[in-house]
Amino acid sequence: MNVNLQVVAVVLQTISSLSIAGGLIFAAVQFYQARKAQHVANFTKLVELQMGLRRMRVENPKLATVYRDDVRNLENDDEIRFYFFNLMQLSLFEIAWYGHEHGQLSDEYFESWVKRFRIIAAEPSFQKMMSNPSMKILHDDFQRYVETIFANAKKA
């Protein structure tokens, strides 16, 4: 066999092998990104379900009394509504925060959320909600993040 022909055959086999390897790497990255997006979608769905329960309490404050701890330090229906409305706001921000943490929201878009959330965190009704000992954030990292924003809002 001609040496030039052998070199061409080896080069073509190398290109073919590299193409297959590149395709496998690309597929692996795509699967990883899809899994990450599904993870964020699952988290979002859980927070949305939690928000639905909070919405029910805003619409019917009597439902909040099912769990006594949920209404600790809340004196009337309006206070219950305000408390759970603020928790709903917090849920929206939690979804944005989690999406950003997992690369699903751009930095500049998330920073616009943070800017608006700082305004909300400075509101007296939000501060009352955060100060209530019954207030619960289920994600520990998000809790620490919100506490930092809340502490800065209280100083302002």
Percentage of residues in the chain having pLDDT higher than 70: 97
Q: Place 134 in a pLDDT band, splitting at 50, 70 and 90.
A: confident
Contact 47, 89 (CB under 8 A): no
**Chain centre to alpha carbon of residue 69:** 25
With a cut of 80, say whether residue 103 has pLDDT above it: yes
Q: Place 135 in a pLDDT band, splitting at 50, 70 and 90.
A: confident
Residues 85-96 have pLDDT tens digits of 999 999 999 999
Q: Place 138 in a pLDDT band, splitting at 50, 70 and 90.
A: confident
With a cut of 80, say whether residue 74 has pLDDT above it: yes
Concatenated DSSP letters of 37-78: HHHHHHHHHHHHHHHHHHHHHHH-GGGGGGSGGGGTT--SHH
Q: What is the mean pLDDT of the chain?
A: 91
For residue 152 the two structure tokens come to 């800065």
Contacts of 132 (CB under 8 A, 6+ apart): 72, 73, 74, 83
